[in-house]
Amino acid sequence: MPTYAILLRAVNVGGYGKLSMAELRNTLSSLGFKNVETYIQSGNAVVDANVPAERVRLSVAVALQKLTGTAVDVIIRTHDQLDDLIHRNPFATEAVDGTRVHIAFLSGPAAPTARAALESIVEKYPNRRDRYHLAGDHIYFHFPDGAADTKFTGKFLDKAIGAVGTGRNWNTVLKLHAMSKR
């Protein structure tokens, strides 16, 4: 049975998107998923499901909209996809501090114009030392000065890359990878 990491966007961030992990686990279990686990309060779960990833994503999105009354962006990755992402990390040396390396998981491949848009962010904020590496349906980030003041955030970033994304720090990526190894 396939195992999926479920990443929810904008859950329990800054007082918005309130969703308890107990509610999330109950919702995922009610959809028939097995071995449901959540990790921290920011909308991370790992489940086993005998259906394709897109069906898992749609089922979760519909169920959470019913539960919360608002649309929730849902991004799915398999263990193998997480494994590949970890092995290809261009900031592996910097990932020793897992809070300074982040991954933006995208809902689809970045637009052809994404690289130029990301470069414009770098050029607009030359005092930030943030770096990025665009890699298909995710972006690696290194925030040597921390993520709190990065300009690679929110709707501006979505527009720049042409896809909805949700970010996780490297520690969370490693934990979800470990949880999904079954």
Nearest to 63 by CA among 18, 36, 34, 23: 23
pLDDT at position 17: 64
Render pLDDT for 100-137 as a digit per residue (tens, 0 to 9): 999 999 999 999 999 999 999 899 998 999 999 999 99
CB-neighbour burial class of residue 12 (10 A; exposed 0-12, middle 13-18, buried 19+): middle
Say if residue 45's pLDDT is above 60. yes
b/e sequence 47-63, b meaning 16+ C-beta within 10 Å? bebeeebeebbebbeeb
pLDDT at position 149: 87
Q: How many CA atoms lie within 13 A of 109 on its CB side?
A: 4
Render pLDDT for 138-182 as a digit per residue (tens, 0 to 9): 999 999 999 988 888 877 777 888 888 999 999 999 999 999 998
Q: For residue 16, give the 3-state DSSP assignment.
A: strand
C-alpha 4 chain-centroid distance:
13
- Residue 73 is encoded by which pair of tokens? 């962006």
Give the pLDDT band of residue 18 (cuts 50, 70, 90): confident
b/e sequence 122-135, b meaning 16+ C-beta within 10 Å? eeeeeebebbbebb
**Structure pTM?**
0.92
pLDDT at position 153: 82
In order of their start, the domains of the chain are 3-81 (3.30.70.1280), 82-176 (3.30.70)
CA angle 163-126-144, nearest 5°? 75
C-alpha 123 chain-centroid distance:
25
Q: Chain-wide mean pLDDT for the chain?
A: 91
Say if residue 43's pLDDT is above 60. yes
Give the pLDDT band of residue 14 (cuts 50, 70, 90): low
